[in-house]
Amino acid sequence: MRKTREGIGLLRTVLFLCLVLILTAVPVCAEPASGTEKTETKAAGTGSGAAKTETKAAGIDSDAAKTETKAAGTDSDAAKTESKSSGNDSGAEKTGSTAPEETVPDVPLTEHTQAEAVEWLHGMVGTSIDYDGAYGAQCVDFIKAYYDWLGVEAVHGDAQDYRSNLLPDGFTRIENADPMPGDVLIYTGGNYGHVGIFESEFETYHQNWGQPYVQELTARYDAISDARYYWGVIRPCFPEYVDPVLNDWTTPDGMTEGQTYRPSGIVTCPVDVLSVKIEVISPNGETVCSQTVEGGMREIDLSRSADLNVTSLGPGIYDYVISVKTAVKETEVLHIYCAIYADADHSRTMPGGNQALRSACDAANRGNP
């Protein structure tokens, strides 16, 4: 009986221990409970060393998750996570520094300037160009190579088709135009017409004009042959043709000796403006006061510049000039006459006072003596 009771007691102890083990055991194949996660993040080739973080949790709250962190030269907080996007917005997001957007002109400019185009023409003399590999070196092959050099797509068709074929963006077609250097010349007559390139009134460049290579003709551009008739031009959009514009400017009226003056106006340009120069020039042509506004953008508000220091200038009529410099050229956008008025005491000693000075300045701007 005693052995039976001891056996029953032992059995109860075994059953209790088994129950405890069952209740506290971690199921091997169970999915993580809500609020738990398994994360493995690897960063390689970035920073000092590679950090690996692995967290495993199952059947317990996230606060109780066991974290194993291995790092070389970095704390666990310094572990870097890199996510790679698979090409859709809903996927992982790629983070990091963003490169600045490329500045693109508002107008489609050629890749070369007008002056560079003339140099290119000089270098092509004596060269045989068969751009499309068909029918040998034709006049249109010369133009196709020119388009390609300018950075635009070549077009197809005979020479006379250039009167109506597809124009590259920014190019213009002008019938009976006065040509400018770099213009494509279009001629009618014969079965196919003819095309060439203009440098000056008596300097034009042609291929397949009696010879299967590029040559310079010294006949007047619109009289190269009795059988070819000048029609007009196709004009590339060279950077030289892009001029800055001054808007919202006001006449520099009110400049008084002994004071300063704040310029006004907004300069805009399809390409970046490098700088804007504001000058006050004396009657003898000497720049007596100037202010340069640094650019680097396509719109510059002159009212944000520093004041013009006209404190040392005496009363009189001066030239007021604003010029804009781009990467291609410098352009004068405003040139008018302005008056620097005498102060109240000085004005009383001047014949006619400041009113006479104002009238003289207005007359000068109207072109009257």
Are 145 and 221 in the same domain?
A: yes
Retrieve residue 179's tokens: 């040509």
What average pLDDT does the chain have?
76
Q: What are phi and psi of 37, to 5 degrees?
A: -155, 160
Looking at the fold, whether 178 and 259 belong to one and the same domain comes out as no
258 neighbors 314 (Cβ within 8 angstroms): no
Please check whether residue 353 is in contact with residue 315, taking contact to mean a CB–CB distance below 8 angstroms.
no
d(CA 108, CA 229) in angstroms, rounded, equals: 31
Residues 144 and 202 in one domain: yes
In a domain, 82, yes or no: no
Q: Region 219-244: what's the mean pLDDT?
A: 91
Residue 199 pLDDT class (50, 70, 90 cuts): very high
Residue 95 lies in a domain: no
Query: Domain ends where: 221, 240, 259?
Result: 240
Residue 10 burial (CB < 10 Å; 0-12/13-18/19+)?
A: exposed
Please give the structure tokens belonging to residue 114.
């007008």
The region of weakest confidence among 31-40, 239-248, 311-320, 334-343 is 31-40
pLDDT score of 11: 64
| Per-state percent for the chain, helix, strand, coil, to nearest 5 | 20, 30, 50
Q: Are residues 212 and 255 in the same domain?
A: no
DSSP β-ladder status, 255-256 and 330-341: parallel
Q: Domain span at residue 260? A: 242-364
Between 78 and 229, name the one with better pLDDT: 229
Asked if residue 113 has pLDDT above 80, the reply is yes
Residue 307 lies in a domain: yes
Could you tell me the two tokens for 323? Answer: 């010029």
Assess whether 223 and 326 both reside in one domain. Answer: no
Which pLDDT band holds residue 9 (cuts at 50, 70, 90)? low
pLDDT score recorded for residue 44: 37
276 plus 176 within the same structural domain: no
Count up the domains in the chain and report the number: 2
Residue 257 within any structural domain of the chain: yes
